[in-house]
Every structure is written in C-alpha cells, then in structure tokens.
Chain A
Amino acid sequence: MTPFLDALSLLLVYSTIAIYAAAFVAYTLHLARRASTPAVPVTARVPATAGATSTTDPDLAGTPTAPDTDTAPAAAAPGADGGAGKAARVGFALTVLGWVFHLAGVVLRGVAADRVPWANMFEFSLTGTALIIATFLAVSLRVRLAYLGSAVLGLTVLLLGVATVSFYVPVVPLMPALQSGWLVIHVLVALLATAFFGLAFLVSLTYLLTTRRRGLPSRLTRLRDSLPGPEDLDRLAYRLTIVGFILWTFTLIAGAIWAGRAWGRFWGWDVKEVWTFIIWVLYAGYLHATATRGWAGTRAAWLCIVGFAAVLFNFGVVNVFFTGLHSYSGL
C-alpha cells in the first residue's frame, strides 16, 4: 500500500508542477499586458470600496489601506486593460487548482509514510512550497497580489522541481532522533515562517523595482508605473515579515526545547542552530531598519532580501552539505 500511495503522491506532485507552470505563464502574460498598456492616470483609478475583504478574485479584492494602489482596472472596465485582468484571473484559478493537487500530494505522502509529511529534504520542500502558495492565496484574499503571481509561481515551480528531481527519496519510517512531537510543530512552524519570509522577499524585490527612477527600459517603466506604490509594497513586506518573524522566534524556541530533550542541552551552536540564529538576527535588523532614518526603505528591503537568502542557504546548503546534528536531509 505504501509504495502505491507514494507513487500516487508523486504523480500528483508532477501534475501540480505542470499546473503551477501554466499559472506562471498566465501571470507572466498578465505582467506583459500591464507593461504594454500605458499606465492609467491617477484620476482614472478605480477606488476599491473599503472593507471589501473577502472576494476571491485578486483583481476585485480591495485593500482597506491601499484602495487605489493597483491600477489594473479590470473590475471597472473589462477589456480596457488589454486582457491583463483576465490573465490574472486565469492565473489565480490555475493556482487554486494546482494547490488542490499539491495538498492532495502532501496528504497522500503523509498517509503513505504514516507520519507527518515533513521529515526529509523532499518532504520539507513539498510541504514548504504548499505553504508558500497557501500564504500567497490567503494574502490575495485581502490584498491585490496579481502582480506578484508570476514571481511566486516561478519560485514555487523552481523549488518544487528541484525537490522532485534532486531530493526525492522513497517513504521511509522516522529515525529515532525524529520520533518526537516536536517534529510536528517545530518543522511545520519553520516552514510556515519560510513561506511568509519568501513572500516578503518577493514583495521587497518588487519594491526595489518601483523605487528605480531611471535606467529602466520603457516596458519595465510602464510595468513599474502599473505596480502599487513603493509605500504600499514596503508596508506589505513589513506585515509579512513580522508574521514570519514571530513564527521564526517560535521555531527557535521550540527547537531549543526539543534539543534540550534530545541532546541534553538547549543550545550548542550546532551549524543549523547558528544559521537559525543568523536569520533571526538579520530579520531583527530588518525590523529595526524600518524604523531608522536612512535605513527605512531601500536598505531595509535589501535586508529583507538578504534574510531570505540566508533562509534558502540554511535550507538548501546547510542541510545538504554541512555536517552537524541536524542531518535529516535523507539524501
């Protein structure tokens, strides 16, 4: 039964990658349309109604604080945007569909293994990317995020693809070191934090694009002008990061408690502990930077990007190439 479910799960993951790739194409088309349509002047912007927070369509949903930031006027004038709104809706629908497959793949992997599906590199990536998309979809319900779809789906296809090709291992039981209730909570929260940091990273990259005044090709300039303003992106990155930061703090504390149970000390500067600490300090630095004159804005955005680079390093390099107590990659 286990190999069958495992194979079925893998099939679902392949399907997921295909659907996400299609969603990526749709979202990229959306960006291309935005870049080819001259930006709508501010006076023609459609003010979204404050409080409309639960619409599922990203281009219809308004954000209470940024009512007129996203200039894609799909809701008011269908067709007038060169099809950008339509492409975004297709992208969103495909992302939801892909995520259903993705979730089924994660659940089946867990059923096949008879444990939580996050105990080796393949499973960390599988569940982690599902959380990135889940976070993206959840945030989309509150804030217009169609402009971020291409980047989110692109990143996810890349991560999930690498995981499936390079990290896949068949289902095996848990080694004694991982047989603990903390596996469920510590790793899940770490992955969720990673999802929030990942989105914040992409928003910060977008922010840097919107703050570039000169030296952009005309298409990128038009794309930039169609994006939310730097202040809104800055604020969104901040809000995503504070959620990620709380989750990361919890990860660190939960990890220390688990280390205390398993190894007799709650902190020992193991390689993975060092990097968890580095990431925590970097994001603490980001939070301080957002409140420091001269650092708020561009420098803070760079810190957010460096922070996520450290997260990826901690995941992709430390897990696989460093020797330490956290040798759970399964590779």
Chain B
Amino acid sequence: MRVSIRSEQAPQLPADHVDRPVDEPTNPRLSVSGWARWAWRQLTSMRTALVLLLLLAVAAIPGSLIPQRSSDPNGVIQFDKTNPGWMWAVDLLQLHDVFGSVWFSAIYLLLFASLIGCVIPRIRHHLTALLAPPPATPRNLSRLPAHTRRVLPDTPPGAVLDAAEKALRRQRYRTRRVRGDDGRDSVAAERGYLRETGNLLFHVALLAVLVVVGVGGGFRFTGQRVLVEGQTFASTRIAYDSFTAGRFITDTQIPTFSLTLDRFRVDYVLDNVNALGMPKTFDAQVTTTTGGTRQASSIRVNEPLSVAGTDIYLLGNGYAPTLTVRNPAGKIVFRDTVPFLPQDANLTSLGIVKVPDGLAEQVGLVGMLYPTRATTASGAFASSYPDLLDPVVTFNVYVGDLGLNTGVPVSVYALDTSTLTQIAGRGTPTPALQLVPGTPVPLPDGLGTIELGPIPRFASLEIAADPTQTPTLIAAVAAMAGLALSLFVPRRRLWVRTTTGRDGGTVLEVAGLARGDDPRLQPTVDTLATRLTPTPTPLRGGSDDPVP
C-alpha cells in the first residue's frame, strides 16, 4: 500500500494485513438491496475511481481538439463551415460543449459520487482513530517492517520505558503504556494523524470546489461592451453588446454606473529592432460615475478596475474609423465610428458598414483598414506598423437587401453578401474604394460619397461579477494544503518493549510500522533505540545521558 488517498483495506488494518480470498466457493443469492449494495461498493472502490479518473482525462481531450463554444466561438463557426459532413456527430456528441456535455458530466458526477461514498466512511473511521489510544503492541516485533534490538546490561526495564515514553511524547507521538498477556511491558506510540486528516481535507475541498462552481454559476454575470474613445455607456442589461447572467441574477442586481472611455493609450517598443512596433502598454483611461461620484482611473490587461461590485477587464482594442456617407445632394445619411476588428499584429483590420436608408439602394461595405500603408509585391495593400502613420481604408461595395428588416438579429460585424450585388472591388470592373482621412470619395453608380474622418481607438471591455471567486480560491487552497499534508506527513506507529534477558540484562526492542511511503521509518527506529541506549562510560560509572 503506497498512498492512502484511498485504501482498499479498512484504515485501521496494518499495511501487511492480507485480505481473505475474495471469491467464495458458492456465491450467495443477492436480493435487490443486495445488488444495490454491491453496485455501490463497486462504485466506491478504488479501482472504479481510478478508471473514472483516467476516463475523465481522456474525455477532456476532444475539448482541446474541437473548438468549444465557451472558449472559442469564432473557431466553432469556422469548424462548422469547413466540416459540414461531421455536423451530425458534433451535434449528437455535443462536441462543441464537451465540458457541459451529458457524457462528460456523467463521468465527473460518477467520480464525485464514488468519492463521497469513499470519504464518508473514512471520516467516520478517522474520527474513531483520533479518539482511540495507539493500538497494543504486537506479540512479535521482529516481524514489522522496521525493527531493532539492543541489550542494555545495567538499565532497569521500567526506566527505559519511561525514557522512551518521554522521548516519544516530545516528538509529538501519542503514547500508551501496554502490559501484554505474557507480562511483558511496552510502550505503544502513534503519530501523523494529520496525514489522513489532510487526505480527507483534500477530497472534501475538491467536492467544495465542484459545488461552489456548480451552484455559484447562477450568481455570476458577464457583459461585453465595445467602447470608442469619447463614448460613454451606462450599465443596464440592454447597453451591453452581449450579456450572460446566471439564473439568480435579476435586472435590479446589475449595478448601475456609467463609464466613459476618455482615451486609449498604446505605447510601442521603439528601442528594440527585434520588437519594433510591439505594444508595450495598453491603457484605457476611463471616467466612471457611480451614485453621483465621478472618478478617473485606468484599466490595463492585468489590472482590472473594480466599480460598484463588478470588475471591468480590458480584453481587446483596435481602431474605429469615423465614416460619413452623403447622398448625391450632399445630405449626411450615415455618420458613425465603426469598430474594425484587428486581423494581425500590425492591426490590419476588418470592418463592416451598413447604410440601410437615405441612398437609392441599401448599401453594404466591407472595409480593410491599414494603419500604416505598405504595398506588397503583388500590389495589394498591407500594414507595416500598428500605429496610424499613413492610414488607408479600402472598401468593397455591395448593394441590395441588407436583411435588416427580417426580424432576425444580425451581427454588426458580419455582412451576408449572398443576397447582395457587388459593384466595386475585386471581381468587378470598378476597383475597390480607397479612402484617406479628409477626402470624400464617390460611391459607384452615383450613389453618393463616403468620407474617412478621424480614426479613434476602441477598447473591448468585459464587465463581470463573480461571487464564487473567493470561496473557490479558499477551497482550492485548502485542497492543496490537504494534499501536501497527505503526501508528506508520515503516519507512523512505534513500539518499544523491554524484557529481561537470560543474563539478567534488559533487552530493548524498537519496531515501527508506517502507513504509506515512509523513507524515514527505519532511521527513526534506529535513532530512538540509540537514544535509549546509554553511552558506555565503563570507568566513571556515571553518565550524562538522561536515561539512568
């Protein structure tokens, strides 16, 4: 028996205990409750727990190979597009939600059921053991895994046992004086109850993590919001671009505050040729208003801002060019800052503009922003630096029904071009529009003009409240503490017995037994025996040794 995370044997049995043969000659007939008990015993056996653990590890693998809705929604869309033939399997096996799937849940719920079934009787056992005195001295100490024997010619047996008891108590052993049936006196001692305590703490704390995360999900909410420099948003459910809340969260629990993105500052590396243009700092400088109090603060990647019981995290950023569309008469039909989503490290960014009203037709534009224009060998644009040194925006132009009136929600970051007609850009006679700040460019077919204005930055923020964080952390730390105790505290029983030898001298026997792996068992036994053996000082007769 090595670790005692679980023991197939009752905890009170010594490590060298051998079970009776399991297979009886005739199997007894089992009643329904008998079968239930059999099933429960199977479930709570160590072997089952081990198999479930390994199954859990294997079951988690598909969650890393196939994009998950929770961690990689864009990957999910991409995967479904490229593997349409596999959709039936993906849907059937919930492969985009592996960690919430029926089969994954079944494994960990069985595992935890098995754990509960194992831990409860062990807690009972351990409580008994904590109250019980150390077990009586075995008849034959030399059979134990660690054993030593010394002959002490001049020392009375009782004095040796007194000294042994004292020394063991000082080393925080629980001791007990035993008189055997045969009249031989001994000291029984045990230490390391913390090993089992830690082990149980570990398993109970893991259960606590599961419960806190499972139940606590209902009290959690997160909302995302893209905010362009200069914009303000007031926290209400509808103000978020996306919002996820647990079932116990009502609208009144969403804290009310407003937040203005004053400036988004980015510092670039300028003094290292290998990292030129790499961002050094992202700093969202914001003003928050809660209950009439205004406060300026800043949000950085590893430094969220706490406002009104929520934390605000900086998740991303990019450019939001100001675009103005006018009809042929010069009247403004569209004017907004449009967040463009970054596609690479030099912030080549993709943006969608939809102009539903005011022109002869509905117009959709798919644009690319190059913050610092560079031209590749093939003549295409690229961005060579992430800052706005020489910005240019190109647009492919589409006309037709933008699909905004069907009642189906449509992403502002996507344009379904299947129902539209392209009138400018690659694949059409008209080249893509090229815009630099301040110069209006005519739209094809005399539809009007489009003008690129200032290019502010946007920050993508996540607002989250998670009351489970602290309890989860406490449980996790408790689990780790318990684990350390259960792996490193030695659980040890020692016995010291004295007998009177044939020549009248005292024979000292020290023996030890450990639960689990214990590299220091034999050395401990030897050291104790040596301590109890007075150093021979033949001429003086006296000794400094505490043992008389």
Query: Which A residues form the contact surface with B (CB < 8 A)?
Result: 2, 50-51, 64-65, 169-173, 175-177, 179-180, 182, 235, 238-239, 242, 245-246, 249-250, 253, 256-258, 260-271, 274-275, 277-278, 281-282, 284-285, 287-296, 303, 318, 322-325
Chain B window 269-313, contacts with chain A (Cβ cutoff 8 Å), 1 for yes, 0 for no: 100101100111110000000000000000011111000000101
Tell yes or no: B477 within 8 A of A by CB.
Answer: yes
B358-414 at interface with A (beta carbon < 8 Å) = none
Using A175-B279, A176-B280, A293-B8 as known contacts, say yes or no to A51 and B523 having CB atoms under 8 A apart: yes
Kindly list chain B residues whose C-beta atoms are within 8 Å of the C-beta of A260. 466, 469
Asked whether, in the complex, the Cβ of B480 is within 8 Å of the Cβ of A274, the reply is: no
Is there contact, CB below 8 Å, between A246 and B1? no
**Contacts A50-B523, A268-B70; is A275 near B3 (CB within 8 Å)?**
no
Determine whether the beta carbon of B311 is less than 8 Å from that of A295. Answer: no
B153 at the interface (CB under 8 A from A): no
> How many Å lie between the Cα of A274 and that of B72 in the bound state?
13
Which 10 residue pairs spanning A and B have beta carbons closest together?
A172-B275, A290-B2, A264-B313, A170-B274, A180-B302, A274-B64, A285-B53, A281-B57, A176-B301, A264-B464
Determine whether B197 belongs to the interface, using a CB cutoff of 8 Å to chain A: no
Give residues 132-177 of B contacting A (CB, 8 Å).
none
Name the B residues within 8 Å of A285 (CB-CB).
50, 53-54, 57
Inter-chain contact B526/A50, CB cutoff 8 Å: yes
Further pairs besides A249-B480, A323-B75: 15, Cβ < 8 Å: A51-B523, A173-B278, A176-B282, A235-B517, A239-B519, A246-B484, A253-B473, A263-B313, A263-B315, A266-B469, A267-B213, A274-B64, A275-B64, A278-B61, A282-B57
- Are B68 and A269 in touch, CB under 8 angstroms? yes
Known A180-B302, A260-B469, A266-B469; contact A291-B6, beta-carbon cutoff 8 A: yes
Cα(A256)–Cα(B501), bound, Å: 63
Kindly provide the distance from the CB of B299 to the nearest chain A CB, expressed in whole angstroms.
Answer: 11
Q: A173-B275, A265-B466 are in contact. Are A274 and B50 (CB under 8 A)?
A: no
On chain B, the residues within 8 Å of A292 by CB distance are 6, 8, 46-47, 50
Check A269–B70 contact: CB distance below 8 A: yes
- Mind listing 27 A-B residue pairs with CB under 8 Å? A50-B526, A64-B520, A65-B519, A171-B274, A176-B300, A176-B301, A176-B302, A177-B301, A261-B303, A261-B304, A262-B313, A264-B304, A265-B464, A266-B469, A270-B71, A274-B63, A278-B60, A278-B61, A281-B53, A281-B54, A281-B60, A287-B3, A288-B5, A288-B50, A290-B2, A322-B64, A325-B71
Q: Are A65 and B522 in contact (CB under 8 A)?
A: yes
Interface check B476, CB cutoff 8 A? yes
Q: Mark B436-463, 1 if CB is under 8 A from A, else 0.
A: 0000000000000000000000000010
A173-B272 in contact given A262-B301, A264-B222, A269-B63 (Cβ < 8 Å): yes
Tell me, in angstroms, the Cα distance from A290 to B7 when the chains sit together: 11
Alpha-carbon distance between A324 and B3 when the two chains are bound, in angstroms:
36
- B50 contacts which of A182, A262, A295 (Cβ < 8 Å)? A295
Interface residues on chain B, number (Cβ under 8 Å): 67
Q: State whether the Cβ of B99 lies closer than 8 Å to any Cβ in chain A.
A: yes
Residues of A within 8 A of B47 (CB): 292, 294-295
Nearest CB on B from A151, distance (A): 23
Are the C-beta atoms of B3 and A173 separated by less than 8 Å?
Answer: no
Also in contact, A324 and B50, with CB within 8 A (given A249-B483, A292-B8): no
Q: Cβ of A258: which chain B residues have Cβ within 8 Å of it?
A: 302
Tell which of A65, A171, A180, A287 touches B5, judged by Cβ atoms closer than 8 Å: A287
- CB-contact partner of A264 in B1, B5, B275, B462, under 8 A: B462
> B278–A175 contact, CB under 8 A?
yes
Task: State the Cβ distance, B309 to closest chain A Cβ, in Å.
Answer: 14
Q: Is B49 positioned at the interface, with any CB of A under 8 Å from its CB? A: yes
CB pair A64 B1 closer than 8 Å: no
CA distance A51 to B300 in the complex (A): 54
- Chain A CB within 8 A of B487 CB: yes
Give B495 Cβ to nearest chain A Cβ, in Å.
20
**Set B49, B302, B313, B472: member contacting A266, Cβ < 8 A:** B472
Fill in one digit per residue for B64-77: 1 if any A CB lies within 8 Å of its CB, else 0.
10001011100100
**A235 to B54 Cα, complex, angstroms:** 22
Are the CB atoms of B1 and A253 closer together than 8 Å? no
- What distance in Å separates the Cβ of A98 from its nearest Cβ neighbour in chain B? 28
Across the interface, do A172 and B8 meet the contact criterion of CB distance under 8 Å?
Answer: no
B258 within 8 A of A: no
What's the minimum C-beta distance from B249 to chain A, rounded to whole angstroms? 16
- In the complex, which residues of chain A have a beta carbon less than 8 angstroms from the beta carbon of B279? 175-176
Residue of A nearest to B213 (CB): A267
A171 touches B3 (CB 8 A): no
